[in-house]
């Protein structure tokens, strides 16, 4: 469950990014994140756990530095790293935390249940901003999509779920959404947990979710919001393996840059 802010403390932003984000120094999602974290006073901790590329973390560290922010890449490659006192110290000093892309299951199996994961939740509740791209976007929610079938329609066994960081329990995030045809697996995930909204985030697109739950879409693509609050019927519980699933009563919003959706009130508004 998300940590609870102590009034009057405001929760930090939660920023899932759909992957393949522009890395321009002056414009784009990452520069907005750096500015939100304090600009020249920002201290951004980069967590590259999901990636198997040794270059991933240092690349983001240098990119944030080129934007004027202070940044440090902290490799967390095994669970024992999550108990390291120096890692926790760096985390405590951060004004922003950035989780890179890669493999979602590396994130959940290495970070899950550790002091680092618990501290990220607590810091976000205390006002520290957390952004993640691709796999790093998927893990911000309580229920994380770890894998599944591509395609437009939901199917039984069409999605694999794992525990996420739990910064929010209001949404389930899928990334590279339209580029990799992931509507089917997002719908399958929602059929298991209709309490949450589904956010399908395109590449080079992000949802900046503020303390009040209001999400602004930033970037070149769209965020597809699937709201199952009025779901009337789901055949997921009785269809055979790999069969198509019937879902009725879903609400759908497709939001481009500047549009908003409030994950608490479930209200969408155009830019």
Q: Is the pLDDT of residue 54 over 60?
A: yes
Q: Is the pLDDT of residue 26 over 80?
A: no
The verdict on whether 176 is a catalytic residue reads: yes
Output the DSSP codes for 135-176.
HHHHTTBSEEEEEE--SSS-BTT-EEEEE---SBSSEEEEES
Residue 2: predicted pLDDT? 72
**Mean pLDDT, residues 107-127:** 97
- Which residue in 31, 71, 108, 176 is the catalytic one? 176
Cα dihedral 56, 186, 180, 262 sign: negative
Backbone angles phi, psi at 39, to 5 degrees: 60, -125
- Which residue in 71, 134, 141, 191 is the catalytic one? 134
Question: Which H or E run contains 90?
Answer: helix 85-93
Domain covering 14-260 assigned CATH 3.30.70.20 in the classification: no
Q: Is the pLDDT of residue 5 over 90?
A: no
Round the CA-based radius of gyration of the chain to a whole number and report it: 18
How much of the chain exceeds pLDDT 70, in percent? 96
In contact, 158 and 137? CB cutoff 8 Å: no
pLDDT tens across 147-197, in order? 999 999 999 999 999 999 999 999 999 999 999 999 999 999 999 989 999
Indicate the pTM of the whole model: 0.96
- Which residue in 203, 216, 234, 253 is the catalytic one? 203
pLDDT tens across 57-103, in order? 999 999 999 999 999 999 999 999 999 999 999 999 999 999 999 99
The verdict on whether 108 is a catalytic residue reads: no
pLDDT tens across 195-238, in order? 999 999 999 999 999 999 999 999 999 999 999 999 999 999 99
The verdict on whether 216 is a catalytic residue reads: no
Map out the domains of the chain as residue ranges: 14-260
In contact, 33 and 22? CB cutoff 8 Å: no
């Amino acid at each position: 469950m998300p940590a609870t802010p102590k009034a009057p403390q405001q929760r930090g932003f939660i920023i899932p990014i759909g992957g393949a984000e522009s890395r321009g120094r002056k414009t784009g999602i990452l520069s907005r994140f750096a500015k939100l974290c304090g600009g020249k006073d920002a201290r951004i901790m980069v967590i590259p756990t999901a990636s198997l590329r040794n270059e991933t973390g240092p690349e983001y560290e240098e990119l944030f530095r080129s934007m004027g922010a202070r940044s440090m890449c902290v490799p967390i490659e095994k669970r024992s790293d999550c108990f390291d006192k120096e890692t926790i110290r760096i985390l405590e000093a951060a004004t922003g935390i950035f989780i890179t892309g890669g493999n979602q299951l590396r994130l959940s199996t290495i970070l899950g249940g550790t002091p680092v994961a618990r501290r990220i939740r607590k810091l976000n509740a205390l006002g520290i901003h957390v952004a993640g791209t691709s796999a790093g976007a998927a893990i911000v929610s309580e229920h994380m999509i770890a894998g599944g079938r591509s395609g437009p329609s939901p199917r039984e066994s069409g999605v694999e779920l794992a525990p996420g960081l739990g910064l929010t329990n209001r949404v389930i995030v899928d990334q590279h959404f339209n580029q990799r045809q992931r509507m089917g697996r997002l719908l399958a995930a929602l059929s298991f947990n209709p309490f949450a909204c589904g956010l399908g985030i395109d590449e080079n697109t992000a949802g900046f979710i503020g303390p009040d739950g209001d999400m602004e879409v930033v970037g070149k693509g769209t965020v597809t919001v699937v709201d199952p609050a009025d779901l009337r019927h789901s055949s997921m519980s009785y269809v055979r393996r790999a069969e198509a699933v019937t879902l009725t009563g879903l609400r759908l919003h497709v939001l481009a840059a500047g549009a908003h959706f409030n994950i608490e009130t479930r209200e969408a508004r155009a830019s």
